[in-house]
Structure 1
């Protein structure tokens, strides 16, 4: 009986860990509507098999990597991620064009008292124009540090590097 409970617990944790919470999905949708300046936005989920996911650095779950469709036309890609901060996590959105060049990014939910400065458009614009073949992001070199947000800055920098490497792997394996 204890084994069954443990397996059920682990299975439910894994399911929750790979799903985008409703409130995060709603904020992401609202941000996409604003960025693309149209109410008619839908997502087409890109499924990444367990085998392919094991070869990537980022985790691709049921809902966090998707094609963005507007009025029946493919307009780009999106990714919703979750990154650690000092004592909690934060959720973020990355939008790409059709060639996986970063066109927009946004911290959707930041759960810490300090470090929220990473949400500023001015700071986030450092990632714009990046692609899977771009130079790696390096803290205090091509990514500006923020006093009081060091952990969050390093975390998002690491997450963006992982995402770009993972997309490059999926492209190389012809999964995208």
Structure 2
């Protein structure tokens, strides 16, 4: 029954796109406030055409890619995504500077009993400074494995690789 429910959830996710729940938006906003050390900022959703979205490995829609500004100054961009773990999924935030170079990544909600170590600041710092021109990040070479969290580590690495590749595609299509 659990496998059936996960399959149905996955199909619904693929058919409807990723909808960012309000709880995640609030967690992301707290991380943005903390990272930029600001309390007043705006997030402007970036709309990606369906045609361009179809060419990217990451899913864009429903406000999960956004521009961050404060007092009229462009600070960077953010992306909220969802990736699979062993039996569930986890939600994450990636912050970029104005040139789409990763400045911070954060696991917002992790739903597994094991593997939550991927949420550690130290492990996530491996993604800082990466961009679409960095090349693909390789598990156990560029990205340090974590015992007991192999699936989640591979999943987060794939999610970041897909996101960086997607940003590159969108830039080449003048969508960003």
* Largest Rg, 1 or 2: 1
- Alpha-carbon distance, 1:12 to partner: 9.6
What are structure 1's unaligned runs of at least 5 residues? 1-9
Q: Indicate yes or no: 2:55 matched with 1:19.
A: no
* CA 1:140–1:13: 2 relative to 1, 3 Å: closer
Q: How many residues align?
A: 166
TM-score, normalised relative to structure 2: 0.91
Matched residues in 2 for 1:63 and 1:18: separation?
Answer: 9
Matched residues in 2 for 1:128 and 1:12: separation?
Answer: 28
TM-score, normalised relative to structure 1: 0.91
* CA 1:11–1:88: 2 relative to 1, 3 Å: closer
Partner residue in 1 for 2:149: 149
Q: Indicate yes or no: 2:21 matched with 1:38.
A: no
Structure 1 segments, 4+ long, off by >3 Å, are 10-15
- Alpha-carbon distance, 1:105 to partner: 0.8
Q: Indicate yes or no: 2:137 matched with 1:137.
A: yes
Q: CA RMSD in A?
A: 1.5
Q: Deviations over 1:83-123 (max 9, x none)?
A: 00001100000000000000011000000010000000110
- Alpha-carbon distance, 1:14 to partner: 4.0
Q: Partner of 1:125: helix, strand, or coil?
A: helix
Q: Indicate yes or no: 2:89 matched with 1:126.
A: no
What are structure 2's unaligned runs of at least 5 residues? 1-10
